[in-house]
């Protein structure tokens, strides 16, 4: 009743998933820094998440870890699982998963993925997700995960309809206070959950992303920023201090840079003071 992509790009691992199921993000995904990522679905066995991440942490390749875990499970033929480790990827679809069900896994060295789904409109869902992954090569992991989910949804997705979607990804140094959480988003009950997940990802990137396209606070730009901050009520004589106060009030502190003003922060300041 779900379609998902589990993937690695460099030292980042993540999962994106959608389903006609309430709060799919509470059941399907798990990832661990420096270890890998797992999705458990169909008649999901949540215990697979910790078990498979533990096996990956112990150095087992994804295919061996998945084979060992499913061999011990009497209900394995109802399960569907995707696993990506540091240097491997694997997917499993039990023979009793509801049609259409299937998946594909591939390790390309610096990147890897396992894409799978059940109760889908057909194999075109997995095929579309795989194409989207390859078509977005070079983009950030979270954006590639979302693109694959969007493609799967557009190709038909869950044959019963839409209800929830989620994304969870980890990367060293990413996230608030460099905690390592690249994305942690859930749409638990929505008429168009994949589109809503995309909106939330854009907000997440704004609030928790790293500074980009930083411009020095000099000359005309410094004068503009100082004037806009004053209109917003932040009048410290030092423009960098006033900017930090405003950004903190707007929850943009993760995007502050000692080298100047981040492009997206500048756009937000302009929008707030026009």
Give the separation between CA 103 and CA 213, rounded to whole angstroms.
39
pTM over 0.85: yes
pLDDT band at 236 (very low <50, low <70, confident <90, very high): confident
Q: Above 70 in pLDDT, residue 157? A: yes
pLDDT at 237 over 90: no
Q: Residue 1: is its pLDDT beyond 90?
A: no
Q: Cα–Cα distance between 35 and 182 in angstroms, integer? A: 15
């Amino acid at each position: 009743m779900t379609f998902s992509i589990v993937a690695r790009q460099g030292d980042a691992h993540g999962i994106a998933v959608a389903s006609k199921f309430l709060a799919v993000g509470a059941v399907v995904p798990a990832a661990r820094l420096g270890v890998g990522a797992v999705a458990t679905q169909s008649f999901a066995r949540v215990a697979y998440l910790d078990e498979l991440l533990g096996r990956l942490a112990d150095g087992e390749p994804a295919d061996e870890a998945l084979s060992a875990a499913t061999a011990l499970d009497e209900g394995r033929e109802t399960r569907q699982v995707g696993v990506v480790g540091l240097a491997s990827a694997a997917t499993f679809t039990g023979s009793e998963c509801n049609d259409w069900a299937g998946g594909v896994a591939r390790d390309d060295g610096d990147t890897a993925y396992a894409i799978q789904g059940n109760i889908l409109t057909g194999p075109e869902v997995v095929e579309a997700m795989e194409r989207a992954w390859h078509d977005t090569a070079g983009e950030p992991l979270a954006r590639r995960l979302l693109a694959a989910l969007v493609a799967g949804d557009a190709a038909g997705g869950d044959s019963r309809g839409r209800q929830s979607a989620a994304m969870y990804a980890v990367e060293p140094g990413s996230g608030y206070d460099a905690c390592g959480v690249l994305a942690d988003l859930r749409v638990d009950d929505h008429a168009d959950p994949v589109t809503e997940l995309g909106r939330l990802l854009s907000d997440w990137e704004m609030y928790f992303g790293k500074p980009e396209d930083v411009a020095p606070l000099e000359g005309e730009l410094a004068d503009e920023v100082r004037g806009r901050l004053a209109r917003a009520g932040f009048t410290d004589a030092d423009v960098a201090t006033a900017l930090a106060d405003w950004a903190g009030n707007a929850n943009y502190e993760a995007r502050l840079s000692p080298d100047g003003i981040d492009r997206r922060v500048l756009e937000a300041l302009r929008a707030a003071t026009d």
